Structure 1
Amino acid sequence: MIRILQVVAYQPVGGVGTFLTGLKENLNNQEFKIDFLESTKSTSGDFNQKINDGSSNLHILPELKLKNVGKYFSEVKIFYKKNATNYDIVHVHAPNLAFLHFYYARKYGISVRIMHAHSTKYSTNTIKAKINRLLIFLGRKLATDFWGSSNNSVDFMFRNEDMKVVIPNGVDLNKFKFSISRRKKIREIYGIREDDFLVGCIGNLLAAKNYIFLLNVFEKIKKNQNIKLMIVGSGEQKEKLEKFIDSKELTNVILVERTKSPELFYSAFDLFVLCSKFEGFGYTALEAQASGLNCLFSTGIPKEVDILEENKYIGITNQDKDKWASVIVKESNFVVAESISSNRKRRFERISDSRYSITNSIRMIGNEYTRLMRDRS
């Protein structure tokens, strides 16, 4: 049995959390044992509830705050001194913390140390970006292998390293398959008529997701009363978005709290948009395509996300807002109710055998773990 420790900074939400829960649910078996090491003040939360079910161990470190730095460093050392013999691989998903974990993992005998990039930026904050760049440089010196969620993330963070692997973020495609009943249910709950054109996006309400840009686009098309925008998610920018919506009187925009069942919402959408400033991969874009949706992406989204090669990419400068508005209006004219099911079924069938299915993705990860252990035996 290969024993893997997955290391995260905070309790992950969004794409990283989905990736790790999928890994735990599909790879934690007789061949592999997966445990987690996390910095948090509480073991509650959706992610922790999913992984802390008895088949995996959840180890807790002090909450990552400035006042706890000394305690965090000390607890990391104690953890590896006590537990390193229980693991063959340490797999870090927070590259700016990798230097510390890899130092003690190497010191206490863990021979495989994977640094995993899920982003194409060090930070949106200039000072934090400079600090993270230095910390990641130190971590790279102690890592043995380098994984990333896309070519962009690997090239950005590990350009000059050997032992690089792109690991596709697999999705349980059947979970997101289009459903008429789901579509009707969500639209009824939120007062969306069947002849309304619903544009949707799902994700954390963070500056990097660029929702203010999207709201500016919808200010331009609010006269088209049948075109609605639904943003599903929670995060630090919620209040800012609410104030913007109120100030611009965007009655065509609906904010919905983060959901445990995103698959319900994809079925309700007619077009999926992702206008992020940057993404390591863009997990929700894959889920949307599994639901058969046409998508509109910013140029900050990796090209390999466009699995069906049918989707559009547009820049996110101020001059591009009119382009986004124009494309959305045009898309709204193409949706014919009676063809929705057939079109989305066709797209699902095309994506279902891709390397982004959870089955194919997990098989690749398992093979990589096995290869790494074989190469070092």
Structure 2
Amino acid sequence: MPQNNNICVCQVLHGIVGGGSEQVVLNYCSRMPDIHFDLLYQYEPNPQILERFNEAGINCIQIPDKLHHPLKHLWTMFRIFRKGRYDVVHSHLDWYMNSYVCFLAMLAGIKKRIAHHHQAYTSDCHPGLRAGISLSFKKVLCSILRIPCKLFATHWLACGEAAAINGWGKSAVKKGKVTILPNAIDPERFKFCEIARREIRAKYGIAEDDFVVGHVGRFFPEKNHKFIIELFSEYSRHHRHCKLLLVGNGPLQAEIQNLVNQKGLGDKVIFAGLKKNVVGFYCAMDVLLLSSTREAFPMTLVEAQYNGLPCVVSAAVPRETAITDNVFPLPIDDVKPWCEKLSSLSVACDRENPKIKSEWFDVRKCYKMLESLYQIP
């Protein structure tokens, strides 16, 4: 707790591993130097990402994780809430787990409790629900699970319309009870840079005339890396001078690496790992692929557009994130249309001034929305 009279906010995340929710917190909080931020997280952090939070002046506190130490997890969180004397608790746990965070904050006497929904699960892919359960039952169950969130949270947030409907229901959205807070970025950080392009390409042995297909994302099922490998395997059969650049890490990485080797693509696919700064990698690419099976709000897509990259995306990606005419949605049931689209593109270095149609995702324009929400009445 700071020694001055500044507003004190406690952010709650699952972990600090390079996910979108973490980046949202970092982008917004770093714009509010007059507010003191603590951040609670559970799982072993990625040192590079944790360093970025520390550099932004956000005090990060690791607590026992809920899977292995559920009671200790709850007690530690409650104790921190009670001793911290926070003005606001802002929870970013999905699958309706914001409810228990807001409940503990309420018990600790915190008056402003924000539940923030970042995912747009469909009824057939909600985590924790078995595949054998009927669709109608899943819908009813999801509606029931929204109730404690609505009871214990004083403010309902979502990153986009799809996540708002999924997290809070159509009726709540229609009545204006949900605040849409975009996953905004600082456009200046993602400007195209020819020097960065040459440096990254030289580091990974990418020739000047190589067409680089890129992807930035964690190796999780919903990111659909298998589709990317199948697509690139087909594309590379007809295009000799090409590389696939994968930025990120995750539990499925070894499986994807094995698939790459099975298809004989080892010399064409680059596993760059998780990076603290991805700007140079966008610059090195010639197209970004986003073949996700579900997406509430892909920040990588916004970042890539500000970098001037053409983006070929799945139909699951919300249309609201297309802020240029350089986004091309395609179905993920066949790789052929994707190959055809890639074949229509070329190595492009001159992309310094992308035509942005909306400033909705510019954090410099919209951080005031969240700052005003944090204000003490």
TM-score when scaled to structure 2? 0.87
CA contact (8 A) 1:122 1:128 kept: no
- Residues 129 and 93 of structure 1: CA distance in aligned 2, closer, same or farther (over 3 Å): farther
Cα offset, 1:297, TM superposition: 0.8
- Residues 52 and 208 of structure 1: CA distance in aligned 2, closer, same or farther (over 3 Å): same
2:306 corresponds in structure 1 to: 290
CA contact (8 A) 1:299 1:316 kept: yes
Cα deviations across residues 187-243 of structure 1 (Å, max 9, x unaligned)? 111121111111111111111100101111112122211232111111101110011
Q: Report SS of the residue matched to 1:345.
A: coil
CA contact (8 A) 2:217 2:248 kept: yes
Cα offset, 1:107, TM superposition: 2.2
What does residue range 11-90 of structure 1 map to in structure 2 within 5 Å?
11-27=16-32, 29-30=33-34, 32-40=35-43, 45-52=47-54, 55-65=57-67, 67-83=68-84, 86-90=85-89
Cα deviations across residues 330-353 of structure 1 (Å, max 9, x unaligned)? 123xx4x5xx32xx1231xx3397
Query: Aligned equivalents of 1:180 and 1:204: distance in 2?
Result: 26
Q: Does 1:106 align with 2:113?
A: no
1:309 corresponds in structure 2 to: 325
> Amino acid of the residue matched to residue 253 of structure 1?
V
CA contact (8 A) 1:216 1:321 kept: yes
1:226 corresponds in structure 2 to: 241
Cα offset, 1:355, TM superposition: 2.2
Q: Does 1:346 align with 2:353?
A: yes
1:5 corresponds in structure 2 to: 10
> Amino acid of the residue matched to residue 252 of structure 2?
Q
Query: Aligned equivalents of 2:45 and 2:298: distance in 1?
Result: 27
Structure 1 stretches lacking a partner, 5+ long: none
1:144 corresponds in structure 2 to: 154
Query: Aligned equivalents of 1:128 and 1:191: distance in 2?
Result: 43
Q: Report SS of the residue matched to 1:249.
A: coil
Cα offset, 1:259, TM superposition: 1.2
| One of 342, 348, 351 as aligned partner of 1:328 | 342
Structure 2 stretches lacking a partner, 5+ long: 1-5, 131-137
Q: Does 1:244 align with 2:259?
A: yes
CA contact (8 A) 2:248 2:274 kept: yes
CA contact (8 A) 1:233 1:259 kept: yes
Q: Does 1:116 align with 2:129?
A: no
Q: Report SS of the residue matched to 2:90.
A: strand
Query: Aligned equivalents of 1:43 and 1:207: distance in 2?
Result: 21
Cα offset, 1:368, TM superposition: 3.2
Cα offset, 1:12, TM superposition: 4.3
Query: Aligned equivalents of 2:313 and 2:58: distance in 1?
Result: 36
Q: Report SS of the residue matched to 1:222.
A: helix
Q: Report SS of the residue matched to 2:274.
A: coil
Cα deviations across residues 5-39 of structure 1 (Å, max 9, x unaligned)? 11112224232221112223211x22x22221222
> Amino acid of the residue matched to residue 228 of structure 1?
K
Cα deviations across residues 157-190 of structure 1 (Å, max 9, x unaligned)? 1123352111112212111111111111111111
Cα offset, 1:260, TM superposition: 1.4
Q: Report SS of the residue matched to 2:320.
A: helix
CA RMSD of aligned residues (A): 2.4
CA contact (8 A) 1:279 1:302 kept: yes
- Residues 176 and 231 of structure 1: CA distance in aligned 2, closer, same or farther (over 3 Å): same
Query: Aligned equivalents of 1:300 and 1:358: distance in 2?
Result: 24
Q: Does 1:166 align with 2:167?
A: no
Cα offset, 1:290, TM superposition: 1.1
Query: Aligned equivalents of 1:24 and 1:193: distance in 2?
Result: 39
The more displaced of 10-19 and 163-172 is 10-19
Q: Report SS of the residue matched to 1:351.
A: coil
- Residues 49 and 129 of structure 1: CA distance in aligned 2, closer, same or farther (over 3 Å): farther
Query: Aligned equivalents of 1:289 and 1:265: distance in 2?
Result: 13
Q: Report SS of the residue matched to 2:69.
A: helix
TM-score when scaled to structure 1? 0.87
Cα deviations across residues 270-290 of structure 1 (Å, max 9, x unaligned)? 111111111120011111111
> Amino acid of the residue matched to residue 38 of structure 1?
Y
Query: Aligned equivalents of 1:44 and 1:315: distance in 2?
Result: 33
1:186 corresponds in structure 2 to: 200
Q: Report SS of the residue matched to 2:326.
A: coil
Query: Aligned equivalents of 2:45 and 2:181: distance in 1?
Result: 28
CA contact (8 A) 2:222 2:292 kept: yes
Going by fraction, where is helix more abundant, 1 or 2? Answer: 1
CA contact (8 A) 1:5 1:35 kept: yes
- Residues 215 and 118 of structure 1: CA distance in aligned 2, closer, same or farther (over 3 Å): same
- Residues 127 and 284 of structure 1: CA distance in aligned 2, closer, same or farther (over 3 Å): closer
Query: Aligned equivalents of 1:240 and 1:19: distance in 2?
Result: 29
Cα deviations across residues 317-366 of structure 1 (Å, max 9, x unaligned)? 2xx2111111111123xx4x5xx32xx1231xx33971212211312221
- Residues 79 and 126 of structure 1: CA distance in aligned 2, closer, same or farther (over 3 Å): same
- Residues 79 and 302 of structure 1: CA distance in aligned 2, closer, same or farther (over 3 Å): same
Q: Report SS of the residue matched to 1:309.
A: coil
> Amino acid of the residue matched to residue 294 of structure 2?
F
Question: Size of the alignment, in residue pairs?
Answer: 355
2:133 corresponds in structure 1 to: none
Q: Report SS of the residue matched to 1:331.
A: coil
- Residues 368 and 256 of structure 1: CA distance in aligned 2, closer, same or farther (over 3 Å): same
2:92 corresponds in structure 1 to: 93
